[in-house]
Structures are given as structure tokens and as C-alpha cells.
Structure 1
Amino acid sequence: MSSYNIGIDTGGTYTDAVIINTATRELVASAKALTTRGDLSIGVIEALNNVMATTRGQLSAADISLVSLSTTLATNALVEGQGSKIGVLLIGFDDVMLERSNLETAIPSAIIQRVNGGHTHDGSETVALDEGSIRDTLEANKDKVGAYAVAAHYSVRNPSHERRAQTLVREIIGCPVTASCDLSEALNGPRRALTAAFNARIISLIVTLVDAVRDALGGHNIDAPLMIVKGDGSIASADTVVEKPIETILSGPAASVIGANFLSGESDFIISDIGGTTTDVAIVKNGWPELNEAGSVIGGFRTMVNAIDMQTIGLGGDSAIEIDHRGRIHLQANRVVPLALLGHRWPSVIKDLKHSLSQGMGLGAATMFLLRPDGFDRHPLPADISDADRQFLNIITNEPVRWSQLVNRVSDRNRVTRLVDRGLLQIGGFTPSDAAHVLDRQSQWSREAAELVCLMIGRSHGKVSYNDANIDIECRTFAQEVFDAMVAKSTHLLLERLSGHSYPQDDPIISSITHGSTQLGDLNLALTPRIPLVAVGGPAQVFYGDVGSRLGITPITPQGSEVANAIGAAIGMIKANATVEISSAEQGGYRIHHDGKPIFISSPSEALEKATAMAKAIATEKAEAMSAQNLSISSELERLDIPGMEGDAGLISAKITANCLGSIK
């Protein structure tokens, strides 16, 4: 008897939904809807409605055995600097540790408070926890913070101070609070603190997403387990993930790797997953992506999240375009809403563009619009939004408003930046997707709006003249420049990933290849991948034919590649792991470190045996809590010994990691 899984992916631009027959591993149906950032449930419900409608009369709610979600929401939010206003409690941190955490650079808006406390490497208390300082900080910022992160020195050896701080936050504030020891067993306190802060920042986003999916499923009477893809490619229960949303960093890209393997049939390949906001590139061996043991890098900052070894950059079909004083085109990391999309949805945008073009002044600024995210009116504004910001937002209601109508001063520009960072406002502008519409490489939105913005931006930067006879040719030439900039940057990213080296943008050989030249002086040039390129994501078919040409290959863009993330989500596996460490005690014997006070054991062999059993038990418990069955468990041992000693007699320290893999019940 066949059963069916639903996979849903909420990307920066589109929300995708698919139905997979788990018995035949067949893609039964797929559908898309625009992602609605103001209220994600709108896009999720629309995508789910669309995919269910394609199977009407063939499937019922009872046939659905699993619903799994992958999302670039966390990745995009951290790349774009969005999320809740947070507070960070650093227990036992000195000036050097604070600087090494990069907290003040990565999250400038965070309220950071250092308090006395912390432990030593063996789990002994350094000084008593200063609960009074914590209480004062919490009371002083009661109405300013939406979530807290707590990190204590050596908390992985003794988490008691972090646990107490967590309790105080819950009692006094009642908001979400993240303890760094719950996210990583590694000793690096500063990086654990940054990881915990990132986690706290995006909790509300993931909670909103999960609630949206559950509402959508309820509307179809689907009562199936809800899972979410983690950054390592495995799936976990939604209830577990909402506490640790940082684990969904690279969720969408991880799902795309699984989906690309499923669709292409390739086991060794390089994948490029391009969306509206980011491009994600990874090397896949034996059908499963390798993990980055050093921790994922997001927005230039290294976290302690176990995720696939994938490089993520802010490059997509909706990347903002900047033209410098020399006329060179640069693609920015931030996403803007394409004018072709705005014109498709709101005819008033096309009317505004035509009016501005007829005036002939300030054409660059006239192509920028401000708009509220879809569904913004379903939820009240955050309590910490100022009256001035509220008045500004109230001007922008149901349709986009020209930038020049609202932004006239530096303070206005700063306000827009602040509100965009909070996810309360979006900017519409010129993107590679608009250029692709002008070139007839995309057609789903308004070509008229794309041509207008191309003409206006082109004229404002001297790319398009005022000679009416040459307008069409010059606009297409300018659009091709933008398109080629996208292809060149994508090719450069792939060359770096394939070679394992970084290259400056002006490297003559690399630059020649990325810009489509096969000759440099009297030198013939060719750099060709040894493994296939599988390109997935919505814009892959638009840009990657040209990327392949510059690499001398034909990329594999399989049928269904535009929904590869959702497919990967639908066929995922549950994986749980646990790490238990052993350290030498100064007075002899060993301490086993876990989520509680260290356990003292005198015998090294007994310590290894007990620690291994504990790690396996914790991993199994985690997997079973996520409704896993058909479990297989393994363990890995890393140990440090005194040279020349036999057996376990020379044991100095050890780390046991247990991994449990299973399918959903």
C-alpha cells in the first residue's frame, strides 16, 4: 500500500510544495507560491492548496504519512541581519572573550551584559553566579528585548550557571532563552556565545513558520508528523527544532543536496542551489554531503552548528544591483523585490515608472519602491517600535510607494534600513531577474516593468542614450551586462569551490574564464570540472546554461530542479547525535561531562565504557523523541593518551560521539 510524503520549502522568494510516493519514490505533484514574509502562512497555505489540488480525487488526507519542511528562512535572516531584538548574558567572560565572540560586530543591536560566574575546565565553580546583576539587567530591559542568549565560561563542563540564568530569564521576562551548552559540546566559549545569540535572534521566525504550516495542514485535515530539515540534511520534529532554530541554518541547501541526488541520480557531483537571495555550493560524495566540522559560516561569522560543508553567499535572482562611477556592475548581498514582480502584482508601479520616466529627473531613485511584506496587517507591530517608525509604516499600506515620496533625509534612510533589518519593510528595485525578463530568459512576471526600470537605470548611469531609435538595442545590451555579471560571479564561486582556493576578482586567468574568454594573450584557457555540475533552484535554468558554457560543460538541471529543496525535505531521514567528554581529574581519576554535574570515575576503562553507553543512550533518546524507528547507532572515539602506556592506562582525555539514524514512524 502506497503512502505519501509532503515536502514544503519556504525560500526567500518562493514557497514550494511537492508530494512524493514513498513506495515508488515518484514525484507525484509539485506547486509554487510566492513567499509572504509578513505572514508566512499565506504562502504556505497557497502552495499546499495548489499541490493538493493537482491530486484532487486521487489522494485523501489519510494518505499523507509525513509532512517535512525545509527553509532558507534562518540562513536568509542571518545573512540579511533580521530577527528579534536580543539580550546576551555572558557569564565569566573577560574583555578578550567578548572581542573574540564578534557579538558586537555580528549583532550590533544586541544588549550585552557580562556578569560574574563561570567554571574551570574540570567543571569546578570559578566564582558564584551574580544573580543580582542578572536580575537588574533583565528588569532594565524588560520591554526592549524579545529573546535572550546565555553563555557561561566552560558551561559544557558544568552547565549549572547557564541553567540558572535560563530560569531567571523565564521567571522575570518569560521570553525565549537559549543556553549555549544546548547547541554545542565544544569548549570555545566565545563562538558558543555567538551561536546562542544567533539562535535567540531567529526563534520567533521559526515559531511563526511552524505555526503557519500547522495551520495550513489543519485546513486540509492532515494529521501527520511535522518535521523540519536540519543543516546536516537530516530531519527532526518541529517541536524539537523550534527550540534550536540555529540548526536549520543551511536547511534549505541541505535539502537541495538530498533532492539533487534524488533527481539527478548522481552520487559524486558539485551542486549549486540558486534562489532569490542566496547561492549555495557544495561538493557531494557518495550521495551525501560532508559536514563542516569547524562549524558553518553565515554572513562571514563562523558558528558552532553542524551543517553540510556548503558555501553560502548573498547572490540570487533578486540581488540588488549597484553601478559604480566607472559604470561597473556589482551584485550586492542584500535582496530587493524585482520590479518585474511588483509590476506584475501592482499595475500602479508601472504607472509610477512611466510618470517618472516622462519627468526625466532622478531616474535611479525613481526605480526604488518601499512596500510592506504580504500579511503585515495580520500581526501587530513589535512593542519596541517607536512612534515615528509606526507613523512611517502606516503610510505604506496595500501598495508599494516610491522611495522618493518617503525618503528625503539621512534619518529617513536610516529608518528604512532599520525597518528592513527587522523584516517590517521591503525594498523594490532593479535585479538580475529584471534583466532576464528584458532578455526573454524569464517570463513569469511583467516584462513591461522590467524594460522600464532597465531603461531608467540605464539612462541614469549613461548606459542607455536618449536616442529613441536605439532604445531597444541599448536596453538589451545593458540587461546583458547585468546578466553576464550574474553569470561571472556564479562561475567564480564554482571555480573557488572546485579548486579549494580563493581568487581575487582581478586575477587575470580566473577573470577571463568567468567572463567567457578562452584566450589570454597567446594562452588558450580552459578550466573544466572533473565532476558533474547539478544546478537546482528557481533561477538555475535561467543562468546556469551560460555558467556551464564558461566551464566547458553542460550542467545537469533535472526535471523538478526548481523544487529540489522540497523534494529533499520529503525524503529525509532522522539523525540524532550526542557527545560525552572525559577529562583527567587533578587528584587522579576521570570526570565524565554531560548535561549535569560531572561524574567522577577512578578507572579509565570504566570511564570510557560508561561515557560510551551514556552517549548512545542520549542519542537514542533524542531519536525516539523525534518519532524515529528502525534505529541504527554507531559511535566514534577521539582520545589523547600518554605515549608508551599500554591499554587505557595512559588515557588523558576522550570524546565519544554517538550517532543514531532512523526513519519516521
Structure 2
Amino acid sequence: MLRLGIDVGGTNTDAVLVEGKQVLGATKAATSADVTTGMVQAIAGIAQSTKVDPGAISAVMIGTTHFINALVEANRLAPTAAIRFGLPATSSLPPLIGWPQRLVDAIQGRSYLCHGGHEYDGSQLSPFDEGEFLRAIEDAHGAGIRSFAISSVFSPVNAEFEQRAAQILAEQLPDAAVSLSHEIGRMGILGRENATIINASLRELAEHVTAGLRRTVAEAGITSQVFLSQNDGTLMDIDYARRYPVATFASGPTNSMRGAAFLSGQQDCVVVDVGGTTTDVGMLQNGFPREATTDVSVADVQTNFRMPDVLSVGIGGGSLVKDAEIGLRVGPESVGHRLTTEALVFGGVQLTATDIAVAHGIAEVGDGSLVRHLDRALVTSTLANIAERVNDVVDRMKVSAEPVPVVAVGGGSFLVPDEMFAASVVLRPDHYAVANAIGAAIAEIGGEVDRVFSVTPGTRQSVLDDARQEAVDRAVAAGADPSSVRVVDVEEVPLAYLPGSAARIRVKAVGTLNVEVAVGGTHA
């Protein structure tokens, strides 16, 4: 089966063609302002280098920065209302609390509190008040709101009120986009609600982007189904991405980590991904990124949806190097996708980390004669500064004091030293520069269960078995080959602060894509 993997980064758009475990071709193109132009160039590069008939490609997997960039830039966001069912509780912390004002303004954010919600055991906090909800949506619609984020207290346990609200919205405002918190976030009302509001604000953009991606692929002569990679390293079909754009936010570093596992054969290691602007460091466990166990801040908004545990530092191939009076500084400023015009080795005037690497002889790009004048002490001290900072991040990512294997990937990974005190070995596998696109190409289909269960004496094993089976069923429903599905992660957390025998159980299952079946969009 031929798979085309594409990863849209801040500097480059990478594309690879993979068949089984063999990489048939790889190419890089500069990421364009409209993103799709860079994709067209990358696909054309693959077609030229491999001579493969585009019609023979079985599936296209894309990792994109469209949505996270829109949020960070507070641009192209839809007018959004957040409606929470939680009264008489939760009134002291209304929706949108803690949001940066620039983001509230960008989504023309409005918030409403309604009676409802549930306790941890599924019992009601208060009854659903339909009249109250209708007044809220009438007010929001009158203010020009086009997208709604619906949340309810403990909806991952009982989603009754969110589903009822969605039905009413579909009847009253059939053209409005609706996002439900129990489908997006995890336990914890504020983090789940914030993730839902972000998702709702991106729904209109997602309609345009997914249509554009489909069109770009079709115009290249590729007729196969298009998938997008998710934050947890699994795939979703493009219709699912249209409804849940937040699921793509961390696909870049996740793809690189999955690609690193594929290329190096390492299933448990630290991955250092050096791009043009940042270095992302994450931990692989059983071949998948370790997920963050706490709320993750996205554009200064606390959220709790699935995100990899990644530490980033402002060092990349395009990082500016400044030897000022206050001392040497590398990054976080970067020339980004302008590296090939602004770096010294390409005839530019900016001193970058790439220039330092070329001057030291650890990289061969551009014209090395243009950096021969660089002071040797500056070159040495810059590389030492980078090595120390990367070492520190790797050491912070480990779970023990013991050295661990480190896999260096990304176009700027020549900046990673060959030896680090935190590493037992530093590996640079073949095709390391396009590990992100390879991670997209080899991604699997996943299914996840994450909710509170009642675990009475003698029932723990049966509850865990039921949760495992549900995760497997979800992966199969999302398009995984049933014979390939396996459980890769089980987490059980007893909730001692709740009465009774309650436990939060999270199970994740993955399997290889079954291209013979239609992916229906049901996904964990």
C-alpha cells in the first residue's frame, strides 16, 4: 500500500512516499503563506522523484499547522458563544474566565450559564430548563454568533444535557456550528470547556481548510481518501477534522516522534526534533508520545484535551545568533522560512545557527566560503550553548536519572551534539530530516475511552476489560483493521475525594488503517 505523508511546518512542507517499511521518496518545499502552495510543490516533488502514478496512492496523511496558527494569531476565528449547564453551581467561574482579552475580542466571545449538569455518578445537579436555554441562544444569535460551544458539568459521565442542547440548536439554528465538550475534552470543566470554545471558534475555518486540502490532493491526480494526523499520533478522516480542528494542534511534534520511532526502531526513547524555529523534545513510550497529564496551555488558554508531553526551546536552524554585550544569545528569534535568503551561507546578512554549523563543519548547506570569516571562539561557544540547552531539556523530559536513547530528527538536527550526559546514545536515522512527514504517513487509527467508572469490590477486572473492549471497538469503528488493533495504554486513577468506589480509567487502542472500509468519523 502506497502512503503519501505530508507535514506542513513553519519553515518547510515535507512530503514522503512510503510503502510498507520502505521510504520510496522524500522532498522538501518552503511553506507558503497560504500553506496549500507549499503542499502543491511538495507533492510535485514526490511525483517527479519517484515516478509513481498518483492514482496508485492508497491514502494521503497530512499534518497541518492551519488551526494552531489561526488561534495563536487570533485570526480567522468565528464569533462564538459558550453556554454551560451548571447552575446553581459553577457561577463563580463563568465561561471564558482567564482568556486573554485579545482572543475574547477575536471570537466576539459571549458566555451564558444555564441550570443543569450532573454529579460524578450521573445524577442531575438541576433539571434542564429549555426556556432558559432558548433565551440564551436567541440573545447570542441576535449578537451575530455563528458557532456554539456547549459544556455541562461532568458531561463525560452523562452527556444528556449537551446532546439535548445540540438537538434544540439544530432545530432553531440549523446553519450554526455546534461543539460539545464531552466529545473534545476530558474530566475537568474549565479545561474541557476552553478546548470546546477553541474548537467552536475554528469550525468555519476548518470548513474552508479541509475543502482546500481535498481540492489540492485531487488536483494532483490523487483519488484516495485524505486523513489528518491527530495530537496523539493517530489518524482522523478529513470529515472528522472538519468538526474537531483542535485535534490537529500538536500533530507536528507528534508526527516527528512517531517518525523517529519508525526510522530508528526505538519504542522507548527521547526524541529531539530540531526545526527552523524551535526544538521540540518528547518521550516515546511503546512507540507513542507520552501524553501530558496536566492541563496544557494553548495560546495562553488552559485546556485538557489530548496533547503530547512536549518541551520546546527556541533553538532551530534559523535561530538568530547575537554576540551582544549582555552575552551570547541563540534564538528565540528566527528567520524561519526565510533561511534560504537571509542566512549568511545563502548570501544574506543574518547570522544564524545554520551558519555556525556550516562554519564548524557539521553541516553542508549553502556556500561555506561565506562563513569562513566567523570567529572560531564564537562558533565553539555557540554550539556549546546549544548543546547545554538541549541537554537540559532532554534531562527534564526523562522519568529517571538514568541516561536514555536519544533520537535526533528534523532538518536542523545537526545542531544536536553526538554525546550528551543525559543520553546513553544519540541516533540520527536515515531520512531524519523528514521524520515528521514519515510520522504522518505511518500513523495508525486510534480509539480511546476516558471517563469515571464505579468500581465496586470484586468488579475491578471486569470494569477494566469493558473499558479495553470499548477502546478497541472505537478504533475499529474509526477504520482500523480489527485484526491489528491492540491496547497501548491503560491508566487507572482512584478518585479518593469522591464518595463510593470511583476511578477514572483511560484506555487507548490503535490499529493499522483499513483502506477497504469507509471511515465514518466516529473517533475517540
Change (3 A) 1:330 1:661: closer
Q: Secondary structure at the match of 1:664?
A: coil
Aligned partner (choices 503, 522, 532) of residue 405 of structure 2: 532
Q: Within 2, Cα distance between the matches of 1:132 and 1:139? A: 11
Alignment match, 1:509: none
Q: Superposed, which structure 2 residues align to 1:79-228 within 5 Å?
A: 84=77, 86-91=79-84, 92=86, 94=90, 96-98=92-94, 102-104=98-100, 107-109=103-105, 110=107, 111-121=109-119, 122-124=122-124, 126=126, 128=129, 129-142=132-145, 147-163=147-163, 165-166=165-166, 172=173, 174-186=175-187, 188-203=188-203, 207-228=207-228
- How many equivalent residue pairs? 498
Q: Superposed, which structure 2 residues align to 1:574-593 within 5 Å?
A: 574-579=445-450, 581-582=452-453
Aligned partner (choices 477, 483, 498) of residue 630 of structure 1: 483
Alignment match, 1:249: 249
Aligned partner (choices 413, 416, 434) of residue 544 of structure 1: 416
- Deviation per residue, 1:188-238 (Å, 9 max, x gap): 111111222333344455555543432232123322222222222222222
Q: Within 2, Cα distance between the matches of 1:605 and 1:551? A: 44
Alignment match, 1:308: 308
Whether the 8 Å contact between 2:40 and 2:216 is mirrored in structure 1 is yes
Q: Within 2, Cα distance between the matches of 1:282 and 1:572? A: 17
Q: Secondary structure at the match of 2:179?
A: strand
Change (3 A) 1:74 1:437: farther
TM-score (norm 2): 0.78
Change (3 A) 1:662 1:567: same
Q: Within 2, Cα distance between the matches of 1:499 and 1:639? A: 19
Aligned partner (choices 572, 584, 609) of residue 443 of structure 2: 572
- Deviation per residue, 1:59-79 (Å, 9 max, x gap): 323432222223455556556
**Partner AA of 2:256 in structure 1:** S
Alignment match, 1:381: none
Whether 1:27 aligns to 2:23 is: yes
1:284 CA displacement: 2.5
Whether 1:498 aligns to 2:398 is: yes
Alignment match, 2:289: 289
Q: Within 1, Cα distance between the matches of 2:58 and 2:223? A: 8
Q: Within 2, Cα distance between the matches of 1:614 and 1:555? A: 38
**Partner AA of 2:159 in structure 1:** P
Whether the 8 Å contact between 2:405 and 2:423 is mirrored in structure 1 is no
User: For structure 2, which runs of at least 5 residues remain unmatched after alignment?
Assistant: 515-524
Aligned partner (choices 37, 53, 57) of residue 60 of structure 1: 53
Whether 1:47 aligns to 2:36 is: no
Alignment match, 2:519: none
Q: Within 2, Cα distance between the matches of 1:261 and 1:35? A: 25
| Identical positions, percent | 22
User: For structure 1, which runs of at least 5 residues remain unmatched after alignment?
Assistant: 354-428, 452-470, 501-527, 585-602, 643-649
Give the structure with higher Rg (CA): 1
Whether the 8 Å contact between 2:291 and 2:307 is mirrored in structure 1 is yes
Q: Within 2, Cα distance between the matches of 1:178 and 1:319? A: 38
Q: Within 2, Cα distance between the matches of 1:112 and 1:323? A: 47
- Deviation per residue, 1:149-206 (Å, 9 max, x gap): 33233333443443455567665494543221111341x1111112223333444555
Whether 1:560 aligns to 2:431 is: yes
1:44 CA displacement: 1.0
Kindly report the root-mean-square deviation, in angstroms, between the aligned alpha carbons of the 2 structures: 4.3
**Partner AA of 2:36 in structure 1:** S
**Partner AA of 2:253 in structure 1:** P
Alignment match, 1:17: 15
Whether the 8 Å contact between 1:67 and 1:227 is mirrored in structure 2 is yes
Whether the 8 Å contact between 2:3 and 2:57 is mirrored in structure 1 is yes
Q: Within 2, Cα distance between the matches of 1:430 and 1:177? A: 48
1:41 CA displacement: 1.6
1:624 CA displacement: 2.3
**Partner AA of 1:545 in structure 2:** P
Q: Secondary structure at the match of 1:132?
A: helix
Q: Secondary structure at the match of 2:118?
A: coil
Q: Within 1, Cα distance between the matches of 2:49 and 2:103? A: 44
Q: Within 2, Cα distance between the matches of 1:75 and 1:529? A: 35
Alignment match, 2:522: none
Whether the 8 Å contact between 1:639 and 1:651 is mirrored in structure 2 is no
**Partner AA of 1:223 in structure 2:** T
Q: Within 2, Cα distance between the matches of 1:82 and 1:178? A: 19
**Partner AA of 1:290 in structure 2:** R
Q: Secondary structure at the match of 2:50?
A: coil
Q: Within 2, Cα distance between the matches of 1:173 and 1:487? A: 55
Q: Superposed, which structure 2 residues align to 1:232-247 within 5 Å?
A: 232-247=232-247
- Deviation per residue, 1:258-303 (Å, 9 max, x gap): 2112211233321111212432212224434333343555456553
Change (3 A) 1:639 1:539: closer
